[in-house]
A and B are shown apart, each in its own frame.
Chain A
Amino acid sequence: MNRRKFLGLMGAAGVSATLGKKAEAAGNVSFDGYPGSKGVLFDATRCIGCRKCEVGCNEINGLPAPEKPFDDLTVLDTERRTENEAYTVVNKYETGKGSVFRKIQCMHCLEPACASACFVSAFRKQPSGAVSYDESVCVGCRYCMVACPFEVPTYSYNDPITPKVIKCHLCEPHIQSGKVEVPGCVGKCPKEALVYGERSELIRIARRRIEAHPERYVDHIYGEREMGGTSWLYLSGVPFGELGMREDLGTHSGPELTSGALSVVPMVPALWPLLLAGVYGMTKRQHKIADNEKADAVAEAIATTQAEADTKLKAAMQRAQSDKEATVKREVEKARQEAIREAEEAARAAAEGDDNADNGEKEEEGA
């Protein structure tokens, strides 16, 4: 119909018959998360920026004390990101509705980009909802950090022997061991800005809140579909862009982004050798034909030269032959003439007699 579509079709049919966007080919695209898996709903309209969630995370994970104490709220004046010593941070944003706070941590994607990027499968989406990380296989390539669209994982750059990737684990180990029932951050929130529960239930809660107070919320649950969906869900009264959250991530999950290219991989070893063998065969044949033609041409040239040489030789021989014959004839003739003359002279001498012999000799001399 329009130009864009047309070019898209061309692209799909042409250059990228191979690399098209057929993510479905690689499967697990409509994965909606494990049934009953857990997540957390964060409501920015309730958050007061008290940093208690940071405290909860710090305590339960035994992290070192921060430079400035947690009750120092001036920290909020500069934007921060997750760090090796802080799996979660709260930032303050000035918006059309005044100061709004947002908590940052691993989103625990349903189909995590980090997991699809890791070449040793160190990341796993657990049935519980958490995206776990296994330090014991990590090679330290940091591709997971490149891949994460939320810029969450951090790395212990200063550890020469056992550096590792660090990020929120949704308190999976603590919940499994029975130490707590909800993640450390959720348990410490005084304003119920954080709700832990089944993801499907959280989505229902979020919808009800939006419906009950349409004036308070923007009509969007961040994380419901972003990057294929995340286990952490966000509600906000201002557009998410104003909270430093990317609104251009799209709904494709990490694996979907690469599955097209990956699906081509088996085609290359399957087809290339055949094509190359064909090309090789062709060039070889061409070379052979060329060689044969060359050989033929050479043979022909030799033959012609031979023939030419033969005729020349023959001619030369003939010429030589006739030359020889002529010479012989000439010599014979000469010899004959000589003989005749000699004979005549001898006869004449005999006829003139013996007395005239002297004169005869003189005469001859005079003659």
Chain B
Amino acid sequence: MSTEAVSNKSVFTPFNVITGAIIAMGLILTVMRFYNGLGTVTNLDNNNPWGIWIGFDLLVGVVLAAGGYTTSSAVLLFGMKKHRAAVRPALLTAFLGYFFVVVALTYDLGRPWRLPYPFVVQSGTTSMLFEVGLCVALYLTVLFLEFSPAALEWLGFKRLRNWIHKGTIALTVFGVVLSTLHQSSLGALYLIAPSKLHPLWYSTYLPTFFFISSIAAGLSMVMFEGWISHKAFHDHMSEEYLGQHDDLYYGFAKGASWVLLGYFFAKVIGIAVDDEWHLLATGWGQWFLIELLGFVLMPCLLYAIGAREKNLKLIRWTALLTVAGIILNRLNVSLIAFNYHLPADQRYFPSWQEFGITIFVCTLIVVTFRFIVTRMPIFHDHPDYKDHH
């Protein structure tokens, strides 16, 4: 269903009706949030200052946008050259992901208009959040530049486009550096709170865990999105994109399998170093094992099988399982196993308005993605730049 077809028929397609309703709700909630403050729309309190807008919108948003740096470095730096066609969709998703992470952040911050303060007024350089903020700001710029050739081709600005295109490798390297830093720093945010995060999830290796798992998340997201996009935007895909598609799955599945194996061992070492084996027998331990065995080891094996047997269906479902696992992990660290020591009645659960804003922001990503891929050369080459890579 391309937009042209839609506009010829009725505007009241199911897709438009649902997105329209969500956007309307989002706008109302936005007014409520900025008119009455955080208190009226969230269940945040003094013991639980961070809710799903940080736990999901920020932490999950950033890790699921890791497809940008993983794909571009795999293809442009590590030589998976034949999968060039996968780079643009991945970069676009990453750019939109980060952009909307920042959008979502403005809802959570008490005074969002002061967002530049850490860089222009006074810096708290001992803060992990400072590092996260700096890297995300820079990386968003890098992603914007990396993505811009597609937009410039669409707009017809040849010279600028070619000029930026020349910097591709430098931008890619810069992107990997920034991603390494902020993906791990998001884990490092929680290093400051050893007394609040359950010991099975708290570890001095948290930054390493976050970084390794972001690679698995990035690879899996590319496969997962490819699957969805394939259904929705098949008409906009070039022969080249479609031709490389299956092959990309096998390569990425193999890669993700190895990364997940490494992540699994890293997590086990984390338990060993802090000598927390006895905690595995507790209720929290079982929850931890579900995450580790069901959402790390299992997809690791399934990917390996899928790649060996060239089983596309298995790989796709495994990608979904891995993504779910990563989401679970980030929510565990930020919300579920965080403040585990508080009595049940003081624990946090999001209000419907918080869910509402989160769904609103996700919808905005989908709508923008749809707008761009149906217009700009994302899943295909622009005819003027066929051999420009």
Kindly list chain B residues whose C-beta atoms are within 8 Å of the C-beta of A259: 126
From 53 to 73 in chain A, residues with beta carbon under 8 angstroms from any chain B beta carbon are none
Given A122-B122, A261-B184; 10 other pairs, CB 8 A cutoff = A11-B269, A15-B205, A16-B208, A119-B129, A120-B118, A137-B121, A138-B114, A141-B108, A254-B192, A287-B81
The answer to whether B49 and A146 have CB atoms under 8 Å apart is: yes
Are A4 and B127 closer than 8 Å at their CB atoms? no
Could you tell me the distance between the alpha carbons of A287 and B126 in the complex, rounded to whole angstroms?
43
- Among B20-28, B39-47, B233-241, B249-257, the stretch that binds chain A is B39-47
Which B residues between 158 and 217 are near A, CB-CB below 8 angstroms?
169, 173-174, 176-177, 180-181, 184-185, 188-189, 191-196, 204-205, 207-208
- Nearest CB of chain B from residue A165's CB, rounded to whole Å: 9
Q: List 6 A-B contacts (CB under 8 A).
A: A116-B192, A138-B114, A149-B193, A258-B126, A272-B173, A276-B73
CA–CA, A163 to B130, complex, Å? 20
> In the docked arrangement, what's the CA distance between A200 and B236, Å?
73
Contact (Cβ within 8 A) B128 A146 = no
Asked if A277 is at the interface of the complex by the 8 Å CB criterion, the answer is: yes
In the complex the two chains form, is A261's CB within 8 Å of B185's CB? Answer: yes
Minimal beta-carbon separation of B299 from chain A (angstroms): 21
Asked whether, in the complex, the Cβ of A261 is within 8 Å of the Cβ of B109, the reply is no
Most-contacted residue by chain B among A83, A257, A260, A284 (CB, 10 A): A257
- B131 and chain A: residue at smallest CB distance: A265
Whether A139 and B115, one on each chain, are in contact in the complex, defined by CB atoms closer than 8 angstroms, is yes
Find out whether the CB atom of A158 lies under 8 angstroms from the CB atom of B177: no
> B79 to A163, Cβ gap below 8 A?
no
Q: Which of B44, B78, B79, B177 contacts A273 (CB 8 A)?
A: B177
Which residues does chain A contribute within 8 Å of B61, judged by CB atoms? none
B111 contact set on A, CB distance < 8 A: 138-140, 162-163
Q: Which listed residue (A139, A146, A269, A284) contacts B192, Cβ 8 A?
A: A146
Residues of B bordering A, CB below 8 Å: 34-40, 42, 44-47, 49-50, 73, 76-79, 81, 108-112, 114-115, 117-118, 121-124, 126-131, 133, 169, 173-174, 176-177, 180-181, 184-185, 188-189, 191-196, 204-205, 207-208, 266, 269, 272-273, 275
Query: Could you say which of A4, A121, A155, A280 contacts B122, with CB atoms under 8 Å apart?
Result: A121
Q: Please, how many angstroms separate the alpha-carbon atoms of A16 and B191 in the complex?
A: 14
- Give the distance in Å from the alpha carbon of A121 to the alpha carbon of B76 in the complex: 40
Q: Which of A7, A21, A151, A287 contacts B204 (CB 8 A)?
A: A21
Query: Which residues of A in the span 249-282 have a Cβ within 8 Å of any Cβ on B?
Result: 249-250, 254-255, 257-262, 264-265, 268-269, 272-273, 276-277, 279-280
User: A118 vs B189: C-alpha distance in the bound complex, in angstroms?
Assistant: 11
- With A117-B129, A277-B173, A283-B79 given, is the CB distance from A163 to B50 under 8 Å? no
Supposing A83-B46, A146-B192 touch, asked if A279 and B78 sit within 8 A by C-beta, the answer is yes
- Complex CA gap A156/B126 in Å reads 25
Chain A residues 1 to 41 lying within 8 A of chain B, measured CB to CB, are 4, 7-8, 10-11, 15-16, 18-21
Q: Quick check: A143 and B189 within 8 Å, CB to CB? A: yes
Interface string of A134-169 (1 = CB under 8 A from B): 000111111101110101011111111011100000
A286 in contact (CB, < 8 A)? yes
**How long is the Cα–Cα vector from A157 to B228 in the complex, in angstroms?**
39
**Looking at chain A, what size class is its interface with the partner chain?**
35 or more
Query: B46, A154: Cβ atoms under 8 Å?
Result: yes
List of B residues within 8 angstroms of A249 by Cβ: 194-195
Q: Tell whether, in the assembled complex, residue B77 and residue A143 are in contact, meaning their CB atoms are under 8 Å apart.
A: no
Partner of A157, one of B39, B130, B192: B39
A140 touches B193 (CB 8 A): no
| Nearest 3 CB-CB pairings of A with B | A140-B110, A283-B79, A157-B39
Within 8 Å of chain B (Cβ to Cβ): is A113? Answer: yes
Q: Pick the contact of A141 from B42, B110, B193 — CB < 8 Å?
A: B110
- On whether the beta carbons of A286 and B79 are closer than 8 Å, the reply is yes
State whether B77 touches A276 (Cβ < 8 A): yes
Q: Residues of B contacting A179 with CB < 8 Å? A: none
Please tell me if the beta carbons of A255 and B126 are within 8 angstroms of each other in the complex. Answer: yes
CB-defined contacts of B191 to chain A, threshold 8 Å:
257-258, 261
A21 vs B14: C-alpha distance in the bound complex, in angstroms? 55
Contacts of A257 in B (CB 8 A): 191-192, 194
Chain A residues with Cβ under 8 A from B118's Cβ?
119-120, 139
How many angstroms between the C-alpha atoms of A11 and B272 in the bound complex?
9
Asked whether A268 lies within 8 Å of B180 as measured between CB atoms, the reply is yes
Nearest A residue to B134 via CB reads: A119
| Bound: A117/B49 CA distance, A | 14
Q: Which residues in A have their C-beta under 8 angstroms from that of B269? A: 7, 10-11, 15
Residues of B within 8 A of A215 (CB): none
Q: With the chains together, A268 CA to B38 CA distance in Å? A: 37
Is A246 in the interface zone, CB < 8 Å from B?
A: yes
**B208 in contact with A15 (CB, 8 Å):** yes
Given A158-B36, A283-B79: A151 and B122 interface contact (C-beta under 8 Å): no
Among B37, B123, B129, B180, the residue within 8 A (CB) of A159 is B37
A residues within 8 A CB of B129?
A: 117-119, 141, 143
* A272 in contact with B127 (CB, 8 Å): no
A116 close to B126 (CB less than 8 A): yes
In the complex, how many angstroms separate the beta carbon of A160 from the nearest chain B beta carbon? 4
Complex interface: chain A residues within 8 A of B177 (CB): 268-269, 272-273
Known contacts A11-B269, A146-B50, A265-B131: A138-B189 contact under CB 8 Å: no
- Whole-angstrom distance between the Cβ of A285 and the nearest chain B Cβ: 10
Chain A hits for B42, CB < 8 A: 157
Q: Does A248 contact B (CB under 8 A)?
A: yes
Please, how many angstroms separate the alpha-carbon atoms of A255 and B123 in the complex?
15
Least CB distance from B30 to A in Å reads 12
Contacting pair B195 A139 (CB below 8 A)? no
In the complex the two chains form, is A155's CB within 8 Å of B110's CB? yes
